[in-house]
Amino acid sequence: MTDPTENKANEVPPLPSSFSLISTLGIVAMLSGFLVVLVYEYTKPIIAENQRIATERAIFKVLPQATQRLTFIIKEGKVTPAVDKARGELIYAGYDADNNFIGMALNAAEQGYQDIVKLLYGYNPDTGCITGYDVLKSTETPGFGTKITTDQDFLANFNCLDASVNTEQTGLKNVIRTVRHGTKQNPWEIDAISGSTITSNAVGRMFNQSGQTLHPIIAKNLTQLKTAMQSKRDDHE
């Protein structure tokens, strides 16, 4: 005769209902989503402040003769002084201690080998030269991809990369492009880094795209940009 207690011990416990499983998963997903949003909202102002500091440092790195700057926003081909937390295409004008115009610091971005590469570069509208850049964001392959910040031959391209505006002020006189290492013949060409073609090409594309878009607008509003700091000082006196 079978012992009833033995049968009970061998019984398989019932599986939880589908409703219980779905409810549990739903609660976990809801809590996970809430935590993600909470972390995002907490870190958002911290990230924004770090980006602001990085941009501020980069402005004076690419415009080393500048001691002060003004921020402008582009709207419908016009430039206006930017207010706090302004959204849109921001450009930065640098001035020396005597309020003399030094040049512009402009953003450029393009897809690299692994992710978007973001730069801030110096531009002198009087000479039409791009005069250097600082990397704001890059996750390129260590070694080859990161040589855009260390390779002296590559950086020499930007002693004066020709990015001058055409007579009609509709675009650049010449398309900025990256050429195979050792084949550069024109001042608007970028001599690529050997072994880092993708990143080198990305730099060429981003400078051409930014130049074609922003440089004509700067040319059309250059008088305002040059006198803005002095006008601001006069208004406060």
Please give the model's pTM, rounded to 2 decimal places.
0.79
- Pair of tokens at residue 34: 């809430």
Asked whether residue 200 carries a pLDDT value surpassing 60, the answer given is yes
User: Rounded CA gap, 39 and 20, in Å?
Assistant: 29
Q: Strands, E, within the chain: which ranges?
A: 68-75, 78-81, 89-95, 101-111, 116-124, 129-137, 161-162, 177-179, 189-191
Radius of gyration of the chain (CA): 28
Residue 51 phi, psi (nearest 5): -65, -40
Q: List pLDDT tens digits, range 52-90.
A: 788 999 999 999 999 999 999 999 999 999 987 777 899
pLDDT at res. 151:
92
pLDDT at res. 236:
65
Maximum C-alpha span of the chain: 108
State what percent of residues in the chain have pLDDT above 70. 85
Q: List pLDDT tens digits, range 126-181.
A: 999 999 999 998 665 554 457 888 999 999 999 999 999 999 999 999 999 999 99
Element (H, E) at 102: strand 101-111
